[in-house]
Every structure is written in structure tokens, then in C-alpha cells.
Amino acid sequence: MSASSAFNDEKGGSSSVGEPEYGHDPASGGIFSSDYKRHDDLKEMLDSNKDSLKLEAMKRIVAMVARGKNASDLFPAVVKNVACKNIEVKKLVYVYLVRYAEEQQDLALLSISTFQRGLKDPNQLIRASALRVLSSIRVTIIVPIMMLAIKEAASDMSPYVRKTAAHAIPKLYSLDPEQKDQLIEVIEKLLADKTTLVAGSVVMAFEEVCPERIDLIHKNYRKLCNLLIDVEEWGQVVIINMLTRYARTQFLNPNINESLLEEGGEKTFYGSEEDEDEDDEDKDKKAEVATMAKRKPYVMDPDHRLLLRNTKPLLQSRNAAVVMAVAQLYFHLAPKAEVGVIAKALVRLLRSHSEVQYVVLQNVATMTIKRRGMFEPYLKSFYIRSTDPTQIKVLKLEVLTNLANETNISTILREFQTYIKSMDKDFVAATIQAIGRCATNIGEVRDTCLNGLVQLLSNRDELVVAESVVVIKKLLQMQPEKHSDIIKHMAKLIDNIQVPMARASILWLIGEYCEHVPKISPDVLRKMAKSFTNEEDIVKLQIINLAAKLYLTNSKQTKLLTQYVLNLAKYDQNYDIRDRARFIRQLIVPTEKSGALSKYAKKLFLALKPAPVLESPFKDRDHFQLGSLSHLLNAKAGGYQELPDWPEAAPDPSVRNVEVPEWTKCSSREKRKEKKVEKPFYSDSEGESGPTESADSESDSANGSESVSGSEVSGSGSESEESEEGSESEEEEEEEDEEKDKKKKKKELKKKPVQESESEQSSEEEEEERKHERKSKPRKSDSETESGDEEESESESSQSESDESESEAEVKKKKKAAQSKPPAKPVKTDGKKEKKEMSLLDLDDFEPAPSPQVTPVNSFLSSSLVTDLEGLSLSDSVLSPATIAPSSALKSYELLHRITGEGLSVEYCFSRQPFSPDANMVAVQIQFTNNATSDTKNLHMEDVKLQSGMRVKEFPEIELLPAGETTTAVMGIDFCDSTQAANFQLCTHTRKFFVSIQPPVGELMRPIFLTENEFKKEQGQLMGMNEITERLTLDVKCRNEHTIVQRVTTAANLSRVPCGSDKECRFAGRTVTSSSLVLVTVATKEEGAAQLTVNCEKMVIGTMLVKDILQALTQ
Amino acid sequence: MIHSLFLINHTGDIFLEKHWKSVISRGVCDYFLEVKEKAVEPENVPPVLQTPHHYLISIYRDKLFFLSVIQTEVPPLFVIEFLHRVADTFQDYFGECSESIIKDNVVTVYELLEEMLDNGFPLATESNILKEMIKPPTILRSVVNTLTGSSNVGDKLPTGQLSNIPWRRAAVKYTNNEAYFDVIEEIDAILDKSGMTVFAEIQGVIEACTRLSGMPDLTLSFMNPRLLDDVSFHPCVRFKRWESERVLSFIPPDGNFTLMTYHVSSQNLVAIPVYVKQNISFFETGSCGRLDITIGPKQTMGKMVEGLMVTVHMPKAVLSVNLTASQGNYTYDLATKVLVWDIGKLNPQKPPNLRGTLSVQSGAPRPEENPALDIKLKIQQLAISGLKVNRLDMYGEKYKPFKGVKYMTKAGKFQVRT
């Protein structure tokens, strides 16, 4: 009270400037009456019509609430102001309302209508905060209203409101668990949301409401993985933890083979014992699987790989919780060889606040038991400073002990030696325990440790001595015969040591090994008999034990002593001791009544006792999910979700398939099987499209906004994708990856019509076959190399990313199934225009030197941003994926004219994406349009005629192209860095057409990223013959940097190099086949004069390129 | 998730409470206060406590306990990290995070807490976003507000909330565009009695202060990025670019922020800037001991060592000290038994020395342990790892910003064992 009244004074003082009458308020005493009085004037202020007075009153009320004072009697006065115009007053009223609504339910209902109005407000912040408050008012009567509001908000066009809806779900659930089913529906719908903003919150709601409904995650799994890096940090933690659990139910144990190999291998020390144990378990439980695994190598599910890859960069997060979440994910899910990456990040966290250290060390301690090698290089990071808090010291000690092995034990022991001198006695005791554990675990140092501990027996601090005695006792038990001198030494100590535990330990030792010290032991018993009555209970019990043992081995000398001790014990105050005495007397002293047991007394007392195993308290803690509260407490906390064991056989992986675009499918498939089967791949995607959209049945406008955000998402997805690949050090250059991603997206968007056209044709049967095939794949892939898998997962993952937008499109497609296609055409141009405008905005341009290929993606980001901000929904056709035709930057060429092709017209363009099956090939995207009245079937190519060295990867056969439809396919051509044409025949089921593709020189290269310095260095090496310079006068329309960049990059597939001066534009690329550098510099001068410089090893290419660029710039 | 938050001062008074779900009586804090009473140092209170119905997770910052009440399973680090973020936010808003300042700004604090969590789940924790919703208090603004009745609370959704770069607020405008980077390195080391390095590593941090208009896209490159062994980044940094090119590419938040922290591994030889010769001994007979400490320059790369300070936690038995310092002053706190020797600048010609006698409580046994020395020092204009910023480029905006990089080396956890 005194503190708070002082606070009142301060408060009064500070506010007295604006409110003189308050300054005189006699509230300083904190007496009830004055409180009451003051509430009166607060009520007055709240009733006034001045906002400033209301605000002042509310501030004072909130200050009361903050101090925990009861302000509930003001409820009626406050609730009146819920509709106040002043936003700060309103917010404070909300704060108050949420605090007291539960106590004053009836009055709280008065405010509900205001919130209902707020839910319809055009300002998204108001809508969101109305929902927030409404859902926070814990009044059961309004449950139906809340439910309605949540459902509505879940389809709001503002992602922020949808996020709020996700937050409201657990609130409602805790208020009324009966609503679960309805809430799960909302969760399902929000899980399908594609904005990063919503993802974290909805997974949180999922975890609180229905963590058991793992089936809801399937369809969203890949999306969540891809979004992860862009989700805010708190959401990342929740998602990663949930995905860890998910992965444990869906994938196979990646270490299953390893454990088989290890089995029978040499047994290392305790560190690996755990592993071994686990192996045994594995063996028993999964014998079947194991034998199967022996036959075929373990193949990681691409989705499993995707998760591991996409979480890895988050180890670099600044947020300790995120790092820990990733670390536990790797610990629980990654193959043994890959777990090591987390060690560095965890060690980094040890620099953080001491609370963070505490939690991290607990987890590290558990990890070190199972995977010791991981932290060995960081041994010194766990060295203890005298300024560490005790709890940190003890944990570090634990880790050091776990890390000890034959090689580092000497360093560790030396380190321990300095710790023993510490002032912190609890810590010293822990150190002695640790030494004991090292000694039991590492045979080589057992004697050294024992000697060290014996030396400690002469320490002046009694606690140290006592702890040493206890530890020595345990060590001696392992090999007592060698150490009778130590036992003698300890027997002498009994006169000095007062700590009961230590005394008891010594007595036990002497009793147990009385044969080794036959002379001393009766003497000790004599001394103890004298002091028996003054001893602690635990010591008394050991005296009785000692007496009994001596009686059995040396009854001549000790008979009387034993009798005496037993008599003393008989009248002890403690019933345990009395019981023990009675029991022992019956057992050892032969009487006529004594039963059969006394014969075995010697066996009972002097049985060989197994040496105690000194174990880490962290052993077996890893059955809790690491990083969880339950793990920390080593007890199950409320709401903890068990981490399931790996399944014996992986559940059907196809449940995670969303819409799979045909193009990606076939490329990855071809890679794997070299066109083993010619299946219509779309059948697969068709079959699965059904269940996907179950959640999406919203209004058109909502749909529109969603599709926008969808594209945003895939954009960011690609970003994360790239970063991952970089870290994986794939052979492919990241630029390529980036493009690949984009290309796939674009591709798949274009693919739409095909799928639509094919949809009717695809039969159930085919789908079944596909699935079957998929499942059986892992077993067949015996011969596959590891790298092959890697690639597979690669393509799978990028495909999954495109899946999302695909499914979105699919949904829409279904809706418009009845509609005819033509309307899409006009919109196409719309889409283009939109794109161009947006690229100027470049709000969140992630590439410092954007090449035109990059901008479309970014423009989606910004466009979605803009739409979200303005809260207007684009009509859903504008960005409907089907309409996004080849980017405006790509020039199409005609391959087959409509007339010569008898209705079939074919165009091709160079899509500038890396051709994934073969990096040396240029990807050519071919667009077939069937203008005839009849269907075209079996479109494929034949009879390829090429110059020597050139190669072609054919596009997969297109089985059916219905009349009036368009489809695209991609083929790869290796032009060998020449502009020679590739000739081939294009065949349909009826006709063959001779066609040829000739590349412009600019398409024979791919962009690379260079820094300015690298560029200059490379340029310096390509002088003389390799340099071609031309002067030119720029086209009037082409005198600014932007257009120059655009024109050059349109003419040639190059990327911009950052440059300090604005008078120069630089571009760099490499030829596709030979990877020769191509460097282009355009230096502008006064009045449109300019100089073009091309440096290229291949002079022919250089000359042709100069010609092409000149033309592009002067036209 | 987080159910309630209590702020408790070091004497155990609860001076603020906030509930995000139904109200929990402050009686729950009693469990915590009990443990706190038992602990000798406030740092020794375990961060996670279990009570019959709740879990208490607390942090100790600036002499305050931030105690959160949890009812169900939640990653403890999640809560700890969040509580620290709360303390950081207070620091950011009010300049310091103390009991009196929180009490003075209790309404702002409450509004902040309301925005930061929704139903116990973090909602907005980026300082740029919070500042758009709730303006930090300034004297000028409070005067204006009382006159005009306008408020500190924004009525628009901060644009950052929805964008891909939530850390940056929109429409930033400055007349002077500037970007400053402070490269601060701390040496963590343990030296043994003889002055040998037991363990040493460098922990670096790059603190940035950017006041740039619009949406600048910055690229910061190093001369020798390979030095960096382990890094962690502000979310704005594009990890992919770092992986592939070892440059920091980012759109910065507005204002002050920590761009990255890094670690230079102990495998690279860490330069130890000073040597310490010390001799602390207690005589077997007579209740006294002797202390002699000399500090001199070792590897300073030709720079001046400043702010040199030695702290010694004496054994409890040491009653008083009688020392003479050749440079600087020393103080000995009788209650906490802490000897602090503030040296200031290190004179390379005449290494400072502190010597004299320690008087030990008579009758007490000779202290067995020798106290460790904690060294503090500062070296301006030097990053001891040798890390150098190569250049800073800006894209996306037309103006030329003023750029500056500053280096500093400090002693972190630098301990000499005796």
C-alpha cells in the first residue's frame, strides 16, 4: 500500500499541470473513503463532453488497473464511452472493458453493439480491434456473436483482420469448447491462407484447439515450409514446433540404416551407449522395417528434405526461440550427419541473457548425451567463469561431464581442478560429483580422479570433504580390493567429519569391505557405539548395518559391541531405527525361534552389490520434445503434445500433393526415369484437385484478394528457396535457381488451359496407377545415387511451391468450369499492363540491380501490398493465373503458321530459365494452339537434325490438344554456343511438319551476378582481341538508364552489375554451353552519344552480340 | 501462451500487472517471491518455476523482474525472448527501463503491452510498427496534446504490418540522410594464473543507426568476411546474399537497430591487448594477505587502451584492504567485498600497479580460494579481429547519404584466474 500511495502522489504531481483540482486530491493516504470520493470525480470527468477530461480520467483508471487496484465500480461510467470518437479514449476503454467484463457481464453486453458496428468499419484497424475486444470479452452469452464475427473475419480481405480472427479462435475455444467443430472449420480455411501474416497465428490456433487433427496440415505442409522464412519470428517458432511433430508422424527415421550399420560396431563409452540402446530398440521394434531397409537404402521423402532445408537458414535468426526451435527440429528429424550444424548456433546463444543460457544449456545437456561429438569442438565455450550464476555453472558442468572422453579428459580435469577452489560451495560440490562421474565413465582416469578426491579429503571445508567421501564411496565400490589403504584413510576421517551423509558413507564402506580392513573395523564400531545416541538417524542406521556385518564376519571381537548397539537402537526415538534393530537381531543372533532366514544372514548382508551407475540427470530426457517447457521441467506440462515415434512405414506421401503442374512433374520425372512411362501427368493433379478447395467457398471479392496474396506468397517462397539452395551449395548457380523458380511459376500459370482441356479425359484409373507408382518408387530406386535423390527433392520442393498457386487457380477454374475460355483473352493484356506499372513501384525489390525477368515477380509482391493497403479487391480475373502469358520481355517467334500447320499454330520463345534436366541447354518454351475444328493428338517431335555437338531434349508428348485450346511445352536445346538452327519434325497423329528453331545470340547466355570489382577484374583479362567497342547514338526514347537496361536485357539474357557511376550500365553473363564470360558496358555521354563495349572470349559471339545490342539501342 | 505479466522490483513489490486472458490473482507471485528470498543473488533465481497450477517464467533486467504466468506448454525461450523484447521496447521508448520510469508512463506501458500481445500471443513487436501505433512520449508532444487534445495513438494500421518488410515504417523522410555503423567487438577470455590463454574468442556486433528517406536498399561488404565464423542477423538481412556473396544486403529499419552479431572463432588467434601480472596471497600465520597487480600493454595494435578497470570479488573473510595505486583510484566495498580499481588510460611506459596488504578476519581460516580478476577495457578505432567494412552502397533511392563506420573493441567476459 505504501508503495502504491507514493505512486499516487507522483501521478497526481505529474498530472497536476493539466488538472489543478486533482492536485489537491487528498488521496495520498490511500484511504478507502478518499478512493471512493475520487471515483466520484472520475465519474464526473467521464460524463463530461470534453475528450481531454475523459482521456485524463481513463488514464487514471488504467493506471489503477495496472497497479492491480479494483476499479470495477466505475464500469457503468466507463462503458458509456465505448463509442467515443477519440481513439485513445476508445483504446483505454477497451483495455478496461476486457479487464472487467467477466465480472460485470450484464453491463458488458451494452457495449456489444458498438463492436458489431466496428466489425463493418471500412478501416481495417478498427475492424480488427473490434474483433479483438469482442473476442476478449469473456461472456458466454455472446458466444454465437463471436462465432459469427470470427467466421466473417476469416474471409475478410485484409490479412490483418484474418490474423485477428486466427487469434480469436483460441479465445472462443477456451470460453466454450463446444464450438470446437465449427472452429476447426475456420482453422481449416485459414490454414489455406497464403499470407505470411496469418500463417503463424493460425498454426497457433491449430495447436490450441485441435493439435490432433494432423490431417489438416497435409495440404498445407509444403506451403508452410516455403512460407516459413518470411513469417514473423514468433510464428516461426510455433510452426517449426508443429512441423516437427508432423514430420515424426509422416516420414521415416532417417537414421534407421545408420543404426543398423553401427550395430555390432565397437562400443565406445557411455556417450554412445544411448545410441546403442536405441539401436536395440529399433531393432526389436522395427525388425521388419529394418530388414527391409537392409535391402533398400533409405530414401528421404522430398518433403522431409524440404522441411530441413527451409528451416536451416533460421539458425541465423536473432531470436533465440527460433534458433532453439530449429535446433530441436534438426535434433529430432535430421539424419545424424546433418545434426551438427545446430551446435554452432546453440553455442552462440550462450552469449545471450542468462535466462536464455539457462534454457539452452538444459537442452544442450540432453543433446550431449545422445550426440556428444556434435559439441566436442566447442568444449571451451562451456568453461565456467566465477561470475556465472550458480545454476548456469552447474549446467555447464553437466555439459562438460557429458563431453568428457579419453582424449579431452585431462583438459577437463585440469579445468575442474580450478573450479574446486571456487567460493561457491554448491558449485564445488557439483564439481566433485562431476569428477566422480568422469572417473566411472572413463577407466583410464579412474585412479587419477580417486587420488585427487582423496587429496580433497584433507580440505578444510567440510562440505567439500563430505561430498568427496560420498563420491569416493561410489568409486571404491567398483574395485575395492585395490584400495584398502584409502578405506583405512577414510576410517581415520570419521573422527573429524561431521556431515552425516559422509559419516554414513564411511561406515557403510567399512562394513562392506571389513575383510580388507579387519583390524580397524571393530575399533570403528567401538567408537561409534560410544557416540551412537548423538548421531543422526542416517548414521545410526549405518552403525547398525556395520555392527551386523561385523558380527557375521568377526563375531568373536564384536559380539558384545553389536549387542550393545542393538540395545541402544531398541530404545531409539525413531521407529525406523527400532524396526531395523529388531529385524537385525532376529536375523543374526541365533535363537531357538529364529527361522530359516538366519541361515542365510551372511548371504543377505554380504552379498555382492553392484556398483552404482553414475548417470546424468539428463539421461532419457529426450523423449520430451527439446526446447519445450516439459523438457525443461522433466515433467509433462499441461497441453504438451507427445512427440510421436517414427512410423514403421511411411504413410502415403501423396496426401501432401496439392495441384502438381504438369511441366515440373515431367521434367523431374524424366530426370529420374528417362521417360520410362509416357503417362498423362495431369491426371494426377486432376484427381487431387477435388479435396483441396473444400475450404474455399468465399465471395468473389475475397477470392480476388486471396489470389493476390497467393502470388505474393509464392514470390517470397522463391526467395527462401534460393537462400536455401545457396547454403546447400548445389552445383547449380543460384541465379539459375531463382529463374527456375520463377519460370516454374510462370509455366504453371500458363499451363492452366491444358489442364482444363484435359480434365474430362483423365480417368480415375490412371490416377490410381500414378499413385501406386509413386509409392513403389522408393523401393525400386535401389540403384539411384544419392545425388539423384538430392535433385529429386530439389525439384519436388520447387514444384510444391508452385502447387500452392496452382491449387488456388484450380479452385477458381472449377468455379468457372461452366464458363467458356474466351473471356480470358482480353484480360491477358490487362494483366500485362498491370505488371508494367507495378514494376515501377518496386516497393520491396529484393534484387539491387533488377533485371527485367525479376521485376514481374516483385511487382506481384508490391501489387498485393498495394491492394491490401487500399483494401480494395481486384476483380478476380485480373490476376487469374491463366491470363499471365509469357512476360512482356520475352519475344515469341513463329515455328509453324496456322495455315501451313492446317490449323495448328506453334510459337516458341526463349523463356530464359535454366533447363533443369541439363544445365547446358537453353530452354525453349513452345506454345501450341489448335485453331482447327478437330482435336489434335499425339503431338511430339521426331527426326531431329542437328549440327555436330548440338543436343536436344524433346518435350514430352502431348496426347491431346482439343480444338480451340492452347498448351505449352518446354524443350531444351544445347546450341553449342552457335546460332545454328535446330531442325526437327513436329508430328501430330496425322501430319508431320518440318520446323527449325534458330536462336538469337542473346539467348545463348545466362545471367550471372558479379560485383563491380569482379566485373572490372574480369574485364581487365578480356582485352585486345576479346574486346569490341562501338560508338553509337542512342535512340531518342532510350536516353535514360532504365530504358537502356531494359533494352539490353531484352536483347540478351544478361544481368545487371551494380555500378557506382550513373553514366555507365554494366551487364554480365556466361554462355550456356562453354560458360565463357560475356561482359557488356554501355557508357553514355552528352546528347545521346554512347559507347558500347563487349568483352567476350568467344569473338564470334561478341561480334554478333554487339550487332544485336546496337540495333536494340538505336532503334 | 502468456497469461499474465507482473513487474516486480528488487525488493519484491509488484508494481504493475497485466492480464491477457482471465485475471490471475497476484498471489501466484508468492511462489516466486519465496524462491527469490532464498536466492542470494537475484541472478540465481531459476527462470522457470513450477507452481501447482501455473508455471512462472521470469527474467531479471535492470533490477526488475518481469514475471510471466503460463498455464500450458510453451517453449520457455519463446517467453524469455519475448520478455526481453518487452524490456527492450521500454528502453527504446523511455530511454531507460526502471521502476520509476515505468510508473510515470504507466498508460503508455499499458497501451504497449496491449499491442504487443493478443491473447498471449505476440502481435506486434517491431519497434517501427509500435512507434507508428503509439508514439513515444516526448515533452513537446505532451504539451501539444494537452493543448490540442490530440492523442498519442495512431488510428491507421501501420503499413509495415502488412508488408514483407514489417520492420520498416513507410514514408520516412529526412532532410539529412545518414547511415552510421558501429562495429563493436568484445573479447571473451579466460587467462590462467600464468597469463596463458585458456580460452578466448571475439564476439562482434554491428549496431546501425540509419536515418534514410524512402526505401533505401543497402549493401554492406567487408574486406575480409571469411573471418566471421558464425553470424546472426536482423530479419532484414537477406540470408541468401550472405551465403552466396558474403555481403549484407538489406532494407534497414528506421532508426537504431542491431544489424548483425558475429563470432570469430577461438581457432584464429585472438589478440589479448593487455597482460596482467598478479599475486594475491594469504599468509598462513597472522590474519593478513598481500596483493600485487600490474597491468601492461600486450597486443594493442598501436592503439590506446582506455577505460581500464579491474574488479576483484574478494573472499568473504577479507575485512579491509590497504593498497596504493600507482595510477587511478581503487575502492573496496566492505559489504559486498568487491575491490574495484579504476585505472583509466593505460600508460605503456609506466604500467599501472596496485599493491598493498589485505587484512583478514582474525580467527577465520586462511581463505583457500583466490579471487579471479575481471578486466574491463576499451580500445577506440580498432576491431581486434581485423574485420573491416569495405563499402556501403545504396540502391533504390537517388540521394547520396552520409555514411560512417566506427570501430571499437571492448573486454567482454575477460577473466584472469589467480
The pLDDT mean for chain A works out to: 73
- CA dist A302 and A71 (Å) reads 58
Q: Is the dihedral of CA B164, B165, B167, B168 positive or negative?
A: negative
Mutate to test the interface with A, among B78, B147, B399 (most CBs of A within 10 A): B78
Check pLDDT > 90 for residue B76.
yes
Instruction: Please give the pLDDT value at position B157.
Output: 63
Q: Which helix (H) or strand (E) element contains residue B146?
A: helix B139-148
Which three-class secondary structure string do you get for A987-1056? ECCCCEEEEEECCCHHHHEEECCCCHHHHHHHHHHCCHHHEEEEEEECCCCCCCHHHHHHHHHHHCCCEE
Residue numbers in B near A196 (CB within 8 A): 164
Residue numbers in A near B47 (CB within 8 A): 354-355, 358-359
Residue numbers in B near A19 (CB within 8 A): none
Mean pLDDT of B337-360: 89
- Nearest to residue A1100, comparing CAs of A975, A925, A913? A975
- Nearest to residue A707, comparing CAs of A906, A540, A860, A533? A860
- The separation between CA A823 and the C-alpha centre of its own chain, rounded to angstroms, equals 42
Instruction: Please give the pLDDT value at position B340.
Output: 93
Residue A730 exposed, middle or buried by CB count within 10 Å (0-12, 13-18, 19+): middle
- Nearest to residue A650, comparing CAs of A1098, A323, A254, A115? A254
Lowest pLDDT segment from A64-68, A884-888, B105-109, B248-252: A884-888
Check pLDDT > 90 for residue B79.
yes
Check pLDDT > 80 for residue A95.
yes
Residue B171 distance to chain A (closest CA, Å)? 11
Cell (9 digits) for A1077: 564470360
> B268 falls in which pLDDT band (50, 70, 90)?
low
Check pLDDT > 90 for residue B39.
no
- CA dist A977 and A999 (Å) reads 10
- CA dist A614 and A620 (Å) reads 14
Interface membership of A332 toward B (CB under 8 Å): no
Q: What percent of chain A has pLDDT over 70?
A: 71
Residue B259 distance to chain A (closest CA, Å)? 9
Check pLDDT > 80 for residue A1066.
yes
Cell (9 digits) for A221: 505442409
Instruction: Please give the pLDDT value at position A265.
Output: 38
Single-letter code of the amino acid located at A770:
R
- Do residues B177 and B211 make contact, with C-beta atoms less than 8 angstroms apart? yes
> A612 falls in which pLDDT band (50, 70, 90)?
confident
3-state secondary structure of B399: coil
Which three-class secondary structure string do you get for A853-877? CHHHHHHHHHHHHHHHHHCCCCCCC
- Do residues B56 and B38 make contact, with C-beta atoms less than 8 angstroms apart? no
Instruction: Please give the pLDDT value at position B140.
Output: 62
Give the number of other Cβ atoms within 10 Å of residue B135's Cβ: 16
- Do residues B279 and B292 make contact, with C-beta atoms less than 8 angstroms apart? yes
Instruction: Please give the pLDDT value at position B131.
Output: 83
The set of residues, in sequence order, having a beta carbon less than 8 Å from that of A525 and lying 6+ positions away, is A543, A546, A547, A550, A558, A561, A562, A565
- The separation between CA A446 and the C-alpha centre of its own chain, rounded to angstroms, equals 43
> A735 falls in which pLDDT band (50, 70, 90)?
very low
- Do residues A887 and A856 make contact, with C-beta atoms less than 8 angstroms apart? yes
Top-confidence residue, A782 or B228: B228
Cell (9 digits) for B338: 568487491
DSSP state of A676: -
Residue B381 distance to chain A (closest CA, Å)? 24
Mean pLDDT of A362-379: 88
Q: Enter the pTM of the model.
A: 0.67
- From A125, A845, A1011, residue closest to B217, measured CB to CB: A845
CB contact under 8 A, B219 and A68: no
Instruction: Please give the pLDDT value at position A150.
Output: 92
CA atoms within 13 A on the CB side of B321: 29
- CA dist A45 and A47 (Å) reads 5
CB contact under 8 A, B240 and A868: no
Q: What is the pLDDT of residues A961-983, one digit of tens each?
A: 888 788 888 888 888 888 788 88
Residue numbers in B near A323 (CB within 8 A): 232
- CA dist A863 and A841 (Å) reads 9
Instruction: Please give the pLDDT value at position A865.
Output: 39
Mean pLDDT of A90-101: 87
Give the number of other Cβ atoms within 10 Å of residue A872's Cβ: 12
CB contact under 8 A, A63 and B201: no
> A846 falls in which pLDDT band (50, 70, 90)?
very low
Q: Which helix (H) or strand (E) element contains residue A967?
A: strand A966-974
Interface membership of A99 toward B (CB under 8 Å): yes
Check pLDDT > 70 for residue A11.
no
Tally helices (H) and strands (E) across chain B: 7, 23
Tell me how many residue pairs between chain A and chain B have CB atoms under 8 A apart: 309
Check pLDDT > 60 for residue A1053.
yes
Check pLDDT > 80 for residue A923.
yes
CB contact under 8 A, B219 and A237: no
Instruction: Please give the pLDDT value at position A670.
Output: 41
Mean pLDDT of B372-389: 90
CB contact under 8 A, B75 and A241: yes
> B159 falls in which pLDDT band (50, 70, 90)?
low
Q: What percent of chain A has pLDDT over 90?
A: 10
- CA dist B25 and B19 (Å) reads 10
Residue numbers in A near B81 (CB within 8 A): 319-321, 356
Instruction: Please give the pLDDT value at position A140.
Output: 86
- The separation between CA A536 and the C-alpha centre of its own chain, rounded to angstroms, equals 55
CB contact under 8 A, A318 and B235: yes
The set of residues, in sequence order, having a beta carbon less than 8 Å from that of A367 and lying 6+ positions away, is A331, A346, A374, A375, A622, A626
Check pLDDT > 70 for residue A685.
no
Q: What is the pLDDT of residues A474-491, one digit of tens each?
A: 888 877 677 778 888 888
- Nearest to residue A1092, comparing CAs of A1108, A1074, A1079, A1080? A1080
Instruction: Please give the pLDDT value at position B123.
Output: 86
- Dihedrals phi, psi of A431, to nearest 5 degrees: -65, -40
Instruction: Please give the pLDDT value at position A288.
Output: 47
3-state helix, strand and coil shares in percent for chain B, rounded to the nearest 5: 20, 40, 40
Instruction: Please give the pLDDT value at position B8.
Output: 93
Residue A35 exposed, middle or buried by CB count within 10 Å (0-12, 13-18, 19+): middle
CB contact under 8 A, A637 and B396: no
* One-character DSSP codes across A752-800: HHHHHHHHTT--HHHHHHHHHHHHHHHHHGGG--HHHHHHHHHHHHHHH
Beta bridge partners of B288: B359
Highest mean pLDDT out of A318-332, A445-459, B30-44: A318-332
- Dihedrals phi, psi of A452, to nearest 5 degrees: -60, -45
3-state helix, strand and coil shares in percent for chain A, rounded to the nearest 5: 65, 10, 30
- Beta pairing class for B178-191 and B402-416: parallel
> B267 falls in which pLDDT band (50, 70, 90)?
low
Q: What is the pLDDT of residues A588-609, one digit of tens each?
A: 877 666 566 777 777 878 777 7
Top-confidence residue, A22 or A295: A295
Lowest pLDDT segment from A492-506, A726-740, A1009-1023: A726-740
- From B221, B229, B232, residue closest to A316, measured CB to CB: B232
- Dihedrals phi, psi of B205, to nearest 5 degrees: -145, 140
ipTM here: 0.91
Interface membership of A342 toward B (CB under 8 Å): no
Considering just the CA atoms, what is the radius of gyration of chain B in Å? 25
Mean pLDDT of A887-901: 73
Q: What is the pLDDT of residues A168-211, one digit of tens each?
A: 999 999 888 998 999 999 999 999 888 888 899 999 999 999 98
Mean pLDDT of A1062-1073: 83
> A874 falls in which pLDDT band (50, 70, 90)?
very low
Q: What is the pLDDT of residues A538-567, one digit of tens each?
A: 899 999 988 988 888 887 888 888 889 899
- CA dist A264 and A257 (Å) reads 13
Angle between helix A341-349 and helix A354-370 axes, rounded to 10 deg: 150
- CA dist A552 and A554 (Å) reads 6
> A15 falls in which pLDDT band (50, 70, 90)?
very low
Task: Give the Cα-Cα-Cα angle B311, B317, B323 (nearest 5 degrees).
Answer: 50
Q: What is the pLDDT of residues A227-263, one digit of tens each?
A: 898 888 999 999 999 999 999 988 888 887 665 544 4
Lowest pLDDT segment from A867-876, A942-951, A1061-1070: A867-876
Check pLDDT > 60 for residue B164.
yes
Mean pLDDT of A669-679: 40
